[in-house]
């Protein structure tokens, strides 16, 4: 069996969410006509730089402690 290539819009990643978050996401999606995926990608794009920055700050502080 041949392996499928990557879809043009990207690879699939799954995540488990609690019911309340899913309801909120679905309500937003219904009100705006946008998909769940649209808002999940938007949230990740918005938060990932801040999360990465915190990681590197922590890694730098740990390195200074270790040295």
DSSP string, 2-61: PPPPPPTT---------HHHHHHHHHHHHHHT--HHHHHHHHHHHHHHHHHHHHHHHHHH
pTM above 0.75, yes or no: no
pLDDT in tens, 8-39: 888 899 999 999 999 999 999 999 999 999 99
pLDDT at 50: 96
pLDDT of residue 1: 66
Domain ranges across the chain: 19-66
């Amino acid at each position: 069996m041949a392996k499928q290539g990557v879809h043009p819009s990207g690879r699939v990643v799954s995540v488990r969410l609690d019911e309340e978050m899913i309801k909120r996401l679905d309500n937003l999606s219904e009100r705006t006509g946008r998909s769940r995926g649209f808002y999940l990608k938007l949230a990740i794009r918005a938060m990932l730089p801040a999360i990465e920055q915190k990681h590197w700050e922590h890694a730098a502080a740990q390195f200074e402690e270790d040295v």
